[in-house]
Structures are given as structure tokens and as C-alpha cells.
Chains A and B, each alone.
Chain A
């Protein structure tokens, strides 16, 4: 549980205004985002739910500096990411953002500890890889290669890797999408723990509405826009969820 309710603190980590994204494939123009305004508050756990094609991944990619919007702005630490070049965006990802993906994306040739080390070696104030793995409950599996780990374990390594640099923002794209519910809950517990203990601002994308109840705030996306916003008075522990 965060020390303050986000509603009262309202310290903004990341601010997006009027984001639109139009993809052109051949003659077809796809409006993935149609003017999204969003504030990501410090220390909050935000869940973005929506069906596939609703634009939530596009939004996350833009927030994470992986993609550029067609129009609009993203402000981080007073700077507009939409003006940044590739080098600056890389620096932003390197120093401030942690990513967790649906398919883990671990480096198969590195052990769990080394996968985490990959990130700590290039960041400014990292935690020790062992500490990060301990945080996700994998201290026993540190020397295992990805091929020797279960899907849930691999995803927890991915979380450890994402938070080891102590990022300002943790972005998770369908972190449980490839997992069964039991394993998925273990992964969500890890995310929740990181948010709670380290105070990392966290955004989780999911099409699974149940997951929304572990958040401080839930945004529902549809057709490239935020259609609904509600705040949970009480965050439910992931262990209480089921789907």
C-alpha cells in the first residue's frame, strides 16, 4: 500500500496530451490513437484494459519511447519525448523505463542473473541483480538459463530485469498473456510487490478486466481513446484474483 493516495499526491511522472497515431498500410489509414490525454502519477499502479486493437499497446509503446506519435506530446521530467531523437529515446529507456513483455524476451544465452546483469551494467543506480531476483522470489534459480525455467519464472526474471535499474516507470505489456492463471498471479504478485516496496510508477496493459482490481486506477480503452476511468478505493491483492 502506497504511503499516500495518488489522488491526493498527484505528482505526475509522465504526462501525455492529445496523442494520436495513424498507421498507413498501403492505402489504408488506421487510427490507433485518437487524441489521448493521460497522466501517470508517481508511485501509482495503473491498469489499462481494452480489447485487442483498442490502442493500448500503441499508447504504451509511445509512453515507453519505442514509438513516436503522429501528433501530441509526452512530457517526462519536463522534456517532450516527441522531440527526442533516437539517441535520446534510447537514453530515456536506458535510465528511466523498465519493460515487461508478454513473451518475456529473455536472452537465451544468459542465465537469470546475467539477464538482469545485462541491464544493471548499463544503468546509473542499479540494485544488485541478486537483490532484484530475490524481490521476485527467484534467488534459488539465479544460475539457470531461460530454457531451464518455466514460463512464470521466465516472466519473473523479466520483471527483475526491468526493475533492477530502479526505473522511474515500469511498463508491462500483457505480462500474464502467455501464462495460466495460477502462474499469472505469481507474476502479478511480483509486479505489485515492486510497485509497493520500491514505489515504482507502474502501468500494466491487459485485456483481462479482472486484473484491474489490483490497480490504483483503471483506464478502459476502446477505439483509440480512453473511454472510462475509475479509481479503486482499495487495491485487491493479486492472490485474491481469479480468472
Chain B
């Protein structure tokens, strides 16, 4: 090993604590990048392969009942390669030992083998047999949740008929990677399952013999899905078509793509923060090292080492620190990625989702880190390399201080000398002070960003499940029923109040923008599921003369109060109307459009009808009610608010805990790294001063005050800044995570700021404690006997 390389190692050993702290910060950034990028890539790779291999369709459409002969017309649409028609239907399931009603999504499959599209991955058991109309294949998460294995039986109320079905197989499907019941916010495998059943048996059960109510299409390469959808909609329109959607809008895929987008966003925004801070830290430590090694640099040059050699020497030092951080980051990132993928594998059901450390994410993180480190230290390396030998051999001229403006004020006069020392030191290196404070502020900001997810979730649950929903149960009816059905439900056991609701699929057009969603019909004086404005926390009365829109929907359409929206109903007679926007309400979940239920009936040109019924239930009678509901033929779905809240809490809490803990750890590393390096560099620069003060009779605590007081003051300044920055970062992340289903609400609780500040303070105090021990061991005599 060359002598100079040996010096690199010894220098590194000399600043090992600082180098390690920087490496930790780098490692955190690299880990976030590797984790998010490799999880993202794993999801994309798996999704693509899965979709391809199991022929996930490109276009999906539903209708009421279309005759089988339409297939040839659909197949004739330009760009359509494969057509698959199916029968789909919802039914309540009665599962022994599970009181609450369970909703089953029945999907038809050919009795004689694999469907052409949306093929199943048979995980256990066998395919159904044509001769056995009661055989079903269950989706795996549902089977797991209830412990079903092939050979088990369960009861379903199919279109009013109780049928005992036998489970023959367990499967997964690309169509249900993320499977969620209607009206739910999170998957709940205990209360919602997919059941595949023979086409003939299912057609018979749902009165669809010789007909279908669901179409999937595979398109030829390069075909425009928009054009195909337009023609398909026209064909299905007379048969109750409710508007086809492209794969992008398909429920399961939409959630999956959303998650992938969020991972992309995370991999772009967050690692940058760590890398910028680490670049600054490396700069700070290297600058100090070069300052203390001026004489050595002079010697090296006097011996004939060239500028490049000196530059290379210090660059190597930076590379080793960065390299250490990268390796550590790769290891942590791989581990976190594996954990993360494990969590995803619970939420998104793939036949195999295996985590493979992603070469691209390794390369990108290394490249980004090295660039940041080299860029950050370029000026210092250059200054070291260009030092003239003679200049390098003489000690640097003593630092020149100035009286600050503060010194001339009354407060300045009142300061004691130690405080004056620390204030002047900050004023003399304003950039360094700013970056130090900025670094700690970033750590606080990341903590606020991570911890506020709990606030956001609390807020969502509070607003969505408590303020705007007061019913205990929401019942979906298989077909719209006459309004008189409300009275029937009133007589069910335990029911204390009943309210009807209507939700119809609709396209809302304004200008050139179209939103495919629904219009919800709400009765006057609704108590159970009223129109609730999160901003004013007030309930709005539905109006017959116009729409009340969620503000995000209005934003999407570009419409304001007073504008008229063209509403095109996608069901029934497919009526259309121009309706004014009469009010806007704030909602974090979904993009609702409300109309008075009577006005909606008129718009549909139908007699007053009901599709959903909200119930308020006496808790003591719940079990009786559920038993009755399971037998009611008209009921297609039963949603329990309490169960929805629990499943939401459970799945969110699990995911949150991992995410938040990881980010807390990374943020602490950041805060610790910054504070430790700031204190160590200050100690190195001012060891002599501090030793002098000790000799003059200052106690250890008084001397520590000067050193750590400076860092402490900067941290104090950084805390409020960090909170503000955290709010800004949250806004940035929330806007990147904004989807039509959710908007991350911005209600950061004071306690969250408090917790973030406390964690950051503990992390920085820890570093201060370590440095404090060094202050206590300052060698007084050696320091004083030498010239600086």
C-alpha cells in the first residue's frame, strides 16, 4: 500500500466517528431509494408478468343483461382481439361460526377449463366440473381468512335462493390483485370474497341464461382503448351498459398502479434530502481536516506531490465515506425492501411476489450518492490541491471576527462573554450555521411527515366513518326497489331508523372534461348518511334544483358554484340533463355528487326507487338482524360500519407502523449525523479556546455551554423551521399521493409536531452527550504548549 493511501486510512480512523455519522445519513438516503425503487420495480415486474401470463383484459364493461349473440358484434369492433363474456353477481354468504354477513362476488368461469381472459392461478384443489353446478373456486385471501380448504362447504343466498356450495379449488386472479368489496376503503378478506362458479350454473342463478352482464376485452397491439370503449358502450347501451373502463380504471389495477406511483414519488423526493445533507456534512468535515492538515499538504507538495495527487488523496477519503454509506444503505435498503415487499404481498395478492434486490436501484443510488458527495466536497478538495507549498506550511492567519449588530444593542451588552463567543462563532460562519440548522430542520421535517400519517388516518376515519356516516349498516339491494321497501326494513329486528339512498353511475361533463363517477340521491333531512362538509363540519340539505359536488370533483371539472354540469346517467334509460352546481363541500375520500333523491328519480324517469338502505341498529339485536338479512333475497350486500373501521384500522396500522418506524430511524440518523458533526467540527476548531477557558478556571459545564450552546442554539432555531418544513413536505407528498379516492388531509396535530421535536431533540442530545464527554477529556497542557 502506498504511503498516501495509508494516510487516507489513518485520516479516516482519526475522524471515524464523524465519518460513520455521515455514512449513516448517506445510508438512510440510499436505503430509502433502494427500498422504494426496488419494491416498485418488483411490483411492476411481477404485475407485468402476471397480467401477461394470465391474460388480464384491457377493457372491462358491465351491463344488465345482454344476449349472447352480441359477442360477434363486439368481436367485430376494430382493435378487439379477444372477447370474454361473463356473468357476475353479488350475494350474501352464510359462513358457519361467523355471525356477520359476508359479501361474495360471484364470477362465472367456463366449466371446461381456463377462460380466455382473466385466467385463474389455481393454487390448491381442482377446477370445477360441468356436472356439479354447486362447485366453486374461492379466492385465496378469502379462503385463508376463513380457513377454507377444498372439500369445505359454505352457504350463499344466490338471487334469493339458499344454496350450499362446495369448495373445490383455491385460486388467485390478475383481476383481483387488490380485492375490495363495494363501498369499502380497504380490503377485508373476512367480509368480502370472490367465488368463481360455472357459467351455466351462475347464469341460471342470476337469470342470465343465454346472456351475460360482464364483458372483458383484449385489444390488438396499438389499438386505442378510448375508441373501442366508445363503440362497446354504444353496443351495450340498450342492454343496461354502465360505461366501459380501460385497464387503467379497473379497480384492482388502479390501486396497484397508485401504490407504484407513490413508491416512485417517494424514491424521488426523500432520498434527495438525505443526500444533500450528507454532501454538506462531508464538506464540513473535509474542510476541517484540510485546515488541520495544511502543513502536511505543504510538505506533500514540497516533496513533489502534484496538485492532482493531493486532490486524489482527499477525493479518496470522500469516496471511502460515501462508499461505506452506500454499502450500508444497500444492506438496510435490501432488508427494508424485503420487509416492505412482504407487507405488499399481504395487500396485493400475486401468485409470487418475491423481492429481488434490484441492480438498477443499486446503481442509481450509488451514482446519486457519489455525485452528491463529490459535488459537495469539490470546492474543499480544490482548495486543498491548490494550496501553494509555502503558504501551506505557515499557519493560517487568525480568524478575524467582527462585532455583530447584536453586540451594539442593549441585549448584546447584556450578554456574558461565553454567550458572546458562541454568537460570534455562528455569525462568522453563517452558511455553515444555516446548513447545520437546515440539516436538523430536515430531520424534524421528515419526522413530522412520517408521524402525520397517523393524524391523516385519524382524520379520515373521524370524518368519513363518524361525522359523515352515522348508520350502523348499509344494505345494498340487488335491484332498485320501490320506496315502500324502507318500511319493510323498519320492521326487521333491532332496526331503529331507516333511510333510503340511491347511487347511479353517471358521466359528468363540464367543458372538455368528463368524470365517470356516480350521482348519489339523498333524502331530505338525512340523519344516517348526510351530506357532510369537512371544512365547516356542517350538514348540507340535498336540493332538487341542483348538484352539491365535492370540491375536488369541481376542481377536476374546472367548475364552480353556478356553473351547469351535463349529467349523463349510465343506467336505465340513460337520461341526460344539465344541472347547476348549487354548493361545494370538502371531502377527503371519493369525489361525490349529491342530488335530492326525488330529483334523481325524476332524472332517471323512473318511479321513486331505492338501491341502498342505511340502518341504525340496536346493538343487542345485531345478531338477530344479521340472521334475517342473510335470508332476504333482495339484499345483495351488507356493509357494517364497525367492521369497515376495524379493517381499515388494522390494515393501515400494520403498514403505517413499518413505514413510520423506518422513517423515524432514518430521520434520527439524519439529526444525529448533523448535530454530531457540527459539534465535533466545532470542538476540533475550538479545542484550544476551550482548553484555555478550562485553564482560566471555567468548569466543564461552562466550557461545554460554549461548544454545545452553539449547536443547541442552532437546533433551537431549526425546530420551528423543521415543523414548517415538515408541513411543506407533507403538502408536497400529499399532493403527490393525491388520488380520486383519497386526499391526504392536512391536519397535523400539535402533538405530532411535539413528538417530532422530542425525537429530534433526543437524537441530537445523544450526539451532544458523546461530544460532551470529549470536552471533559480535553488535554489542557498539550493544547496550550502548541502554536495553533
Binding site for B on A (CB under 8 A): 57, 61, 64, 66-67, 86-87, 90-95, 97, 99, 101-103, 105, 107-111, 114-115, 117-119, 121-123, 143, 145-148, 161, 165, 173, 178
B688-720 contacts to A, CB under 8 A, are: 688-689, 692-700, 702
B416-440 contacts to A, CB under 8 A, are: 416-418, 420-421, 424-425, 428
Chain A residues contacting B410 (CB-CB under 8 Å) are none
Whether the pair B781, A110 counts as a contact (CB closer than 8 A) is no
Query: A101 vs B421: C-alpha distance in the bound complex, in angstroms?
Result: 21
Interface-located stretch among B95-103, B179-187, B399-407: B399-407
Query: A61 vs B779: C-alpha distance in the bound complex, in angstroms?
Result: 13
Contact (A147, B699) CB under 8 Å given A110-B417, A121-B416: no
Query: A57 vs B780: C-alpha distance in the bound complex, in angstroms?
Result: 13
Shortest distance from the beta carbon of B686 to any chain A beta carbon, whole Å? 9
Whether the pair A95, B697 counts as a contact (CB closer than 8 A) is yes
Chain B residues contacting A95 (CB-CB under 8 Å) are 697
Shortest distance from the beta carbon of A154 to any chain B beta carbon, whole Å? 9
Whether the pair A107, B697 counts as a contact (CB closer than 8 A) is no
Chain B residues contacting A161 (CB-CB under 8 Å) are 696
**Residue among B397, B420, B428, B785 making CB contact with A110, cutoff 8 Å:** B420
Number of A-B residue pairs having CB atoms within 8 Å of each other in the complex: 90
Shortest distance from the beta carbon of A36 to any chain B beta carbon, whole Å? 17
Chain B residues contacting A90 (CB-CB under 8 Å) are 694, 697-700
Chain B residues contacting A114 (CB-CB under 8 Å) are 417, 420
Shortest distance from the beta carbon of B503 to any chain A beta carbon, whole Å? 71
- Closest residue of A by beta carbon distance from B427: A109
- Closest residue of A by beta carbon distance from B400: A147
Query: A108 vs B702: C-alpha distance in the bound complex, in angstroms?
Result: 18
Chain A residues contacting B147 (CB-CB under 8 Å) are none
Query: A146 vs B397: C-alpha distance in the bound complex, in angstroms?
Result: 11
Whether the pair A109, B424 counts as a contact (CB closer than 8 A) is yes
Shortest distance from the beta carbon of B192 to any chain A beta carbon, whole Å? 69
Whether the pair A119, B697 counts as a contact (CB closer than 8 A) is yes
Contact (A109, B425) CB under 8 Å given A66-B695, A67-B781, A147-B399: yes
Shortest distance from the beta carbon of A92 to any chain B beta carbon, whole Å? 8
Query: A117 vs B421: C-alpha distance in the bound complex, in angstroms?
Result: 12
Contact (A119, B696) CB under 8 Å given A103-B784, A109-B420: yes
B511: CB under 8 A from chain A?
no
Whether the pair B788, A103 counts as a contact (CB closer than 8 A) is yes
Contact (A111, B781) CB under 8 Å given A99-B696, A105-B688: no
Chain B residues contacting A108 (CB-CB under 8 Å) are 398-399, 401, 689
**Residue among B397, B417, B784 making CB contact with A101, cutoff 8 Å:** B784
- 3 closest A-B pairs by beta carbon, nearest first, are A94-B697, A109-B424, A118-B417
Shortest distance from the beta carbon of B430 to any chain A beta carbon, whole Å? 14
Shortest distance from the beta carbon of A198 to any chain B beta carbon, whole Å? 18
Whether the pair A93, B695 counts as a contact (CB closer than 8 A) is yes
Interface bits B664-704 vs A (CB < 8 Å: 1, else 0): 00000000000000000000000011001111111110100
Shortest distance from the beta carbon of B407 to any chain A beta carbon, whole Å? 9
- Closest residue of B by beta carbon distance from A89: B697
Whether the pair A107, B781 counts as a contact (CB closer than 8 A) is no
Whether the pair A109, B696 counts as a contact (CB closer than 8 A) is no
Binding site for A on B (CB under 8 A): 397-403, 416-418, 420-421, 424-425, 428, 688-689, 692-700, 702, 780-781, 784-788
- Closest residue of B by beta carbon distance from A117: B417
Query: A91 vs B694: C-alpha distance in the bound complex, in angstroms?
Result: 10
Contact (A103, B417) CB under 8 Å given A118-B693, A145-B400: no
Whether the pair B698, A105 counts as a contact (CB closer than 8 A) is no
Shortest distance from the beta carbon of A160 to any chain B beta carbon, whole Å? 13
- Closest residue of A by beta carbon distance from B788: A103
Chain B residues contacting A122 (CB-CB under 8 Å) are 697-698, 702
**Residue among A64, A87, A101, A110 making CB contact with B699, cutoff 8 Å:** A87
Query: A57 vs B786: C-alpha distance in the bound complex, in angstroms?
Result: 13
**Residue among B417, B699, B784 making CB contact with A105, cutoff 8 Å:** B784
- Closest residue of A by beta carbon distance from B695: A99
Whether the pair B398, A146 counts as a contact (CB closer than 8 A) is yes
Query: A109 vs B403: C-alpha distance in the bound complex, in angstroms?
Result: 9
Query: A122 vs B401: C-alpha distance in the bound complex, in angstroms?
Result: 23
**Residue among A57, A67, A111, A118 making CB contact with B696, cutoff 8 Å:** A118
Query: A67 vs B695: C-alpha distance in the bound complex, in angstroms?
Result: 11
Contact (A66, B780) CB under 8 Å given A90-B694, A93-B695: yes
Query: A111 vs B700: C-alpha distance in the bound complex, in angstroms?
Result: 23
Query: A148 vs B695: C-alpha distance in the bound complex, in angstroms?
Result: 24
- Closest residue of A by beta carbon distance from B692: A105
Shortest distance from the beta carbon of A229 to any chain B beta carbon, whole Å? 26
Chain B residues contacting A148 (CB-CB under 8 Å) are 400
Shortest distance from the beta carbon of B477 to any chain A beta carbon, whole Å? 80
Query: A229 vs B788: C-alpha distance in the bound complex, in angstroms?
Result: 35
Most chain B beta-carbon contacts within 10 A, residue among A90, A94, A121, A161: A90
Whether the pair B401, A57 counts as a contact (CB closer than 8 A) is no
Chain B residues contacting A61 (CB-CB under 8 Å) are 781
Shortest distance from the beta carbon of A118 to any chain B beta carbon, whole Å? 4
- Closest residue of A by beta carbon distance from B416: A121
Chain B residues contacting A146 (CB-CB under 8 Å) are 398
Chain A residues contacting B697 (CB-CB under 8 Å) are 90-95, 97, 119, 122-123, 165
Whether the pair A107, B400 counts as a contact (CB closer than 8 A) is no
Query: A153 vs B787: C-alpha distance in the bound complex, in angstroms?
Result: 17
Query: A119 vs B416: C-alpha distance in the bound complex, in angstroms?
Result: 11
Whether the pair B688, A109 counts as a contact (CB closer than 8 A) is no
9 sampled A-B residue pairs with Cβ under 8 A: A93-B695, A97-B697, A105-B688, A105-B784, A107-B693, A110-B417, A114-B417, A118-B417, A118-B693
Query: A146 vs B398: C-alpha distance in the bound complex, in angstroms?
Result: 8
Whether the pair A94, B399 counts as a contact (CB closer than 8 A) is no
Shortest distance from the beta carbon of A158 to any chain B beta carbon, whole Å? 10
Chain A residues contacting B784 (CB-CB under 8 Å) are 101, 103, 105, 173
Further pairs besides A107-B693, A123-B697: 6, Cβ < 8 Å: A90-B697, A93-B696, A93-B697, A103-B784, A109-B401, A121-B416
Query: A101 vs B123: C-alpha distance in the bound complex, in angstroms?
Result: 84
- Closest residue of A by beta carbon distance from B691: A105
Chain A residues contacting B699 (CB-CB under 8 Å) are 87, 90
Contact (A107, B403) CB under 8 Å given A94-B698, A101-B784, A147-B397: no
**Residue among B421, B786, B787 making CB contact with A107, cutoff 8 Å:** B421
Shortest distance from the beta carbon of B665 to any chain A beta carbon, whole Å? 37
Chain A residues contacting B695 (CB-CB under 8 Å) are 64, 66, 93, 99, 105
Chain A residues contacting B785 (CB-CB under 8 Å) are 57, 102
Contact (A147, B781) CB under 8 Å given A118-B693, A119-B696: no
Most chain A beta-carbon contacts within 10 A, residue among B398, B417, B688: B417
Most chain B beta-carbon contacts within 10 A, residue among A57, A95, A108, A173: A108
Query: A197 vs B402: C-alpha distance in the bound complex, in angstroms?
Result: 34
Chain B residues contacting A143 (CB-CB under 8 Å) are 403
Query: A47 vs B424: C-alpha distance in the bound complex, in angstroms?
Result: 38
Whether the pair A103, B787 counts as a contact (CB closer than 8 A) is yes
**Residue among A102, A107, A117, A173 making CB contact with B689, cutoff 8 Å:** A107
Shortest distance from the beta carbon of A116 to any chain B beta carbon, whole Å? 9
Query: A115 vs B696: C-alpha distance in the bound complex, in angstroms?
Result: 11
Shortest distance from the beta carbon of B78 to any chain A beta carbon, whole Å? 80
Shortest distance from the beta carbon of A52 to any chain B beta carbon, whole Å? 11
Whether the pair B696, A66 counts as a contact (CB closer than 8 A) is no
- Closest residue of A by beta carbon distance from B424: A109
Shortest distance from the beta carbon of A219 to any chain B beta carbon, whole Å? 20
Most chain A beta-carbon contacts within 10 A, residue among B689, B697, B780: B697
Shortest distance from the beta carbon of B138 to any chain A beta carbon, whole Å? 75
- Closest residue of B by beta carbon distance from A90: B699
Query: A240 vs B365: C-alpha distance in the bound complex, in angstroms?
Result: 73
Query: A103 vs B700: C-alpha distance in the bound complex, in angstroms?
Result: 23
- Closest residue of A by beta carbon distance from B399: A108
